[in-house]
Amino acid sequence: MSDISEQDIHVFVDAISHYFTQITREKAKIKGAFLAQGEKFPPTFDLTGIIKISGKFRGSVYFSAPRVMLSRLLLSMHESHLSDEQLLDAVGEIANTVAGNARKYFGENMGISVPKTMSTPPKWSELVVRARPYVIMINWKQYDASVVIDIERLD
């Protein structure tokens, strides 16, 4: 197994940045990217979308956001239904888009699952494959959200 690099993480930073610019015409601020550890274990919010990664990689990509941010995002798409079901659909779709866009860089050998969604905080100790997953913190319209990259290359 070989580790993914900082350059690899930029692919996900670009993908989440591109998502907000394309959909809302308003940039999301990248607050920082860091390796999760101890008290900096991946911060999560109300709803989380999870994409399982397979093929020549293993692990998952997560996108987690507060309900209010997802509601504002759906409103910006002129979507008036703001039920939890819709918000979960949105958080899963964002996770799917970020992981899918990363294939431009990683290629088709990175398998992407359909999204799973959660409305309870992930139990990281049971989920992560890396000792220290990468975390990308973003801010859009004053709301924080996180992208967690917990993947390893299989050589």
Partner 1 sequence: MKLLIVDDSTVIRSRIARILGDARLEFIQVIGMAKNGVEALSLFSEEQPDLVTMDLTMPEMDGVECTEKMVTSNADASILVISALSDKATALKAMKKGARGFLYKPFTDDQLVEAFIELTSEES
Task: Give the CA radius of gyration of the chain.
Answer: 15
Task: State the minimum distance, in angstroms, from the CB of residue 40 to partner 1.
Answer: 29
Q: Judged by CB under 8 A, which of 113, 137, 141, 144 binds partner 1?
A: 113
DSSP letter (8 states) at residue 113: P
Nearest CB to partner 1, comparing residues 59 and 92: 92
Determine the interface stretch with partner 1 among 32-40, 96-104, 123-131, 132-140 (rule: CB under 8 A). 96-104
Task: State the minimum distance, in angstroms, from the CB of residue 112 to partner 1.
Answer: 6
Q: Which one, of 26, 23, 145, 17, lies nearest residue 77 by Cα?
A: 23
Determine the interface stretch with partner 1 among 28-36, 39-47, 53-61, 97-105 (rule: CB under 8 A). 97-105
Q: Which one, of 77, 38, 44, lies nearest residue 63 by Cα?
A: 44
Determine the interface stretch with partner 1 among 16-24, 29-37, 129-137, 147-155 (rule: CB under 8 A). 16-24
Please give the C-alpha separations between residue 95 and each of 37, 38, 39, 42, 147, in angstroms, as whole numbers.
22, 24, 24, 15, 8
Cα 126 off chain centre by: 18
Q: Judged by CB under 8 A, which of 86, 139, 141, 152 binds partner 1?
A: 86
Q: Please list every residue from 19 through 78 that binds partner 1, using CB under 8 A.
A: 19, 22-23, 25, 74, 77-78
DSSP per-residue string spanning 19-74 = HHHHHHSSPPEEEEEEE--GGGSPP--SEEEEEEEEETEEEEEEEEE-HHHHHHHH
Binding site for partner 1 (CB under 8 A): 18-19, 22-23, 25, 74, 77-79, 81, 85-86, 89-90, 92-93, 96-104, 106-108, 112-114
